[in-house]
Structure 1
Amino acid sequence: MIAIENSPLQYRIITVDETASTNDLAKEYARQGASEGLVITAKRQTQGRGRRGREWYSQTGGLYFSILLRPNLPFTEMAKTTLLAGVAAVETLRQHYRAAAELKWPNDVIIAGRKIAGILTEGSINPGGSNYIIVGIGVNTNPPAEPLPESIRVRAGFLSDFTNLTIENQVLLRQFLNHFNQHYVRFAQGKHHEFLKLVRCYTRMLGQEIIITEEKATYHAKAVDIDETGALIVKKSDGTIRTLLAADVSIRSQSI
């Protein structure tokens, strides 16, 4: 375990060569009573997953990690940690790698239309027991030895391709954790306004026409705003305003 100095979260990092899912491993530690700030990172995941059960291709070369959090906040507020992690990821890539990273609501980080990182937040509420939230992040830092599957090759990108650098994953991890910590301390105190302003600033799709896929319908709308709950506000062609929750929809920009 490694502690990052001057961090109120007191991060403790456990690195494994391979695991099914860093989120699942972090959950095991959480159920055993591990304290907030535990970070599980793996060189490879055999069952990595993204939002809505999608597979996350997790071969050697990328950065895959999960953070255990125990904020003293209503569970409805915890969904914002996905956006919080997105802000920290964008800041890390912009400030340390000079990459033109942007947020794609609700849980992706993109560069030039290519998906560089994805975030999966999961949590548990146990009446009378221990509550926790796991923020899992996969970053396409360096390409794997084997080519990507055709189904994701057209959408995914690698940070190394945009920086002409071989990315040191553990260095990037610590850079991210420092950025995340700066925002999380205020977030855990219930101070959400500042980071939500950054979410709006970093979200590329605001003001654009987007394609929204729900369970039974696909339609076009204009992305108008992100509200104080972290939901996306859109305006349909007939003038109808809708509030979208991350769990309900799949979204893509018409320009990507």
Structure 2
Amino acid sequence: MRESFSGLVIRRGEKGFGKAFEFAEIAFRNLPFLEEFHFFELVDSTNERAKSARPFSLLFAEEQTSGRGRLERSWVSKKGGLYFSIVLPGYNVSKLTLISALSVAEAVKDSKIKWPNDVLLFGKKFCGILGEAFEDKAIVGIGINVENDVSEFEFACNIKSYYPLSIKDVFENVMKNFAKNYTDLLAGKWREIFERFAKICETRGKRVKVITPGRVIEGVAELSEDGAIVVNGEKIYSGDCIHLR
């Protein structure tokens, strides 16, 4: 074990006591490919720190001061939430982001996905995901509202409001699901993964407005098997999707 940034880096096989080792044990037990676990009580952004981490690492924070979401939006990351980034070898980051959303949604009962990667409970968002691609690695950052206070945000919720799941419970469930989905992805089982994603994606069949750089497209949304949304016959791979009532 060695100090890194303001946190700790724990390698597979190392033993110890305290919160860092408890969460590391969950990650190592469920992710057979994981080599390093970085634990921070407080950090600016796990995705930012992940840029200098090696592939097959997971960076975990109890709290972030500069958490980031899609489209350069901030993600409020108070204590009581679950914030982590997984660093993997270079791969299709859109598919990694999709399996991450699926892993979270299947970890919490009644969850739905709003394209491309927001996870909702009863119409309110409790999880956001940020995927970033680099030449030698892909990073998927996941932020989950578990028991942190989100009352100031009208369209957000936390899991605790509906289900008595602890941060460790949610982390365990997500790790287990991610391990299966990532293994299936590498094994060429994308179609099976996509079918499960499409089944719980609320965007499918809805009238939407998709905002992309320089364009706004409205129409009924369908999903393409490569993870894109299709509106008026046009494939869109990234953008801000608004469900119209």
Q: Would you say 1:102 and 2:112 are equivalent positions? A: yes
Residues 31 and 175, structure 2, Cα contact 8 Å, conserved in 1: no
- 1:173 pairs with 171, 174, 197, which one? 171
- Aligned residue pairs total 221
1:185-225 per-residue CA deviation (whole Å, 9 max, x = no partner) reads 1212333111111111110111111122233343421012x
Q: Would you say 1:60 and 2:76 are equivalent positions? A: no
Q: Would you say 1:134 and 2:139 are equivalent positions? A: yes
Structure 2: unaligned runs, 5 residues or longer: 1-9, 11-23
Structure 1: unaligned runs, 5 residues or longer: 95-99, 126-130, 236-240
Q: Distance in 2 between matches of 1:109 and 1:232?
A: 16
Which residue number in structure 2 is paired with residue 211 of structure 1?
Answer: 209
Q: Distance in 1 between matches of 2:140 and 2:73?
A: 16
- 1:84 counterpart letter in structure 2: I
Aligned-partner SS, 1:69 = strand
TM-score by length of 2: 0.84
Which residue number in structure 1 is paired with residue 70 of structure 2?
Answer: 51
Q: Distance in 1 between matches of 2:219 and 2:30?
A: 45
Q: Distance in 1 between matches of 2:102 and 2:219?
A: 24
Which residue number in structure 2 is paired with residue 233 of structure 1?
Answer: 230
Aligned-partner SS, 2:58 = strand
Q: Would you say 1:117 and 2:127 are equivalent positions? A: yes
Q: How far does residue 148 in structure 1 lie from its aligned partner after superposition?
A: 5.0
TM-score by length of 1: 0.80
- 1:253 counterpart letter in structure 2: H
| Range with greater deviation from structure 2 (1-10 or 191-200) | 1-10
Q: How far does residue 173 in structure 1 lie from its aligned partner after superposition?
A: 1.1
Q: Would you say 1:27 and 2:51 are equivalent positions? A: yes
Q: Distance in 2 between matches of 1:6 and 1:154?
A: 34
1:3-55 per-residue CA deviation (whole Å, 9 max, x = no partner) reads 433643236433211000011112221xxxx341x211111101101011001
Q: Distance in 2 between matches of 1:161 and 1:28?
A: 36
Q: Distance in 1 between matches of 2:123 and 2:86?
A: 27
Which residue number in structure 2 is paired with residue 238 of structure 1?
Answer: none
Q: How far does residue 176 in structure 1 lie from its aligned partner after superposition?
A: 0.5
Q: How far does residue 108 in structure 1 lie from its aligned partner after superposition?
A: 0.5
Q: Which aligned segments of 4 or more residues in structure 1 are displaced greater than 6 angstroms?
A: none
- 1:9 counterpart letter in structure 2: F
Q: Distance in 2 between matches of 1:184 and 1:162?
A: 28
**Compared with structure 1, are the counterparts of its residues 115 and 105 closer, same or farther at alpha carbon in structure 2 (3 Å cutoff)?**
same
Q: Distance in 2 between matches of 1:180 and 1:39?
A: 12
- 1:190 counterpart letter in structure 2: G
